[in-house]
Amino acid sequence: MGLGYCALFGFDETVAAAIECRRLLYRGLDPIEHRRQLQANERAEKTKLVTWEECLDRFAEKRKAKWSTGYTKKWRDTLDRYAGDLLARLSIDAVADAIVIRGLTPAICR
């Protein structure tokens, strides 16, 4: 495992990083996987997953100037009726085309 470009880190920092890697190994953890997990956790915190419902709220808010109040309500009621139970609490990254189509099929096929 490389610890980084030698001009960026002094001897003391390099030794401290090596000792930390050895401690992880001693505890049965892979230092590279541990670092990847920490980075993934940081990315997830930064992006803070958005639910389907929050996404709909944001979309409707952006359309507020172009849509009438009645249309906005009807649009939201239709989505809630046909897809709300299925999608409301899912994070938006878990919503796939197939799930949306399955949820909206009753509205499309009537």
- Domains of the chain: which residue ranges? 11-47, 52-108
Top-ranked range on mean pLDDT: pick from 17-21, 37-41, 59-63: 17-21
Tell me: the pLDDT tens digits for 55-98? 788 888 888 889 898 998 898 888 888 777 767 666 666 666 66
One-letter amino acid at 83 equals: A
Residue 13 to residues 4, 6, 8, 27, 89: CA-CA distances in angstroms? Answer: 11, 10, 10, 21, 44
| Assessment of whether the complete model's pTM goes beyond 0.75 | no
Residue 110 to residues 7, 31, 72, 102: CA-CA distances in angstroms? Answer: 68, 56, 21, 14
Cα angle, residue 56 at apex, residues 53 and 62 outer, rounded to 5°? 145
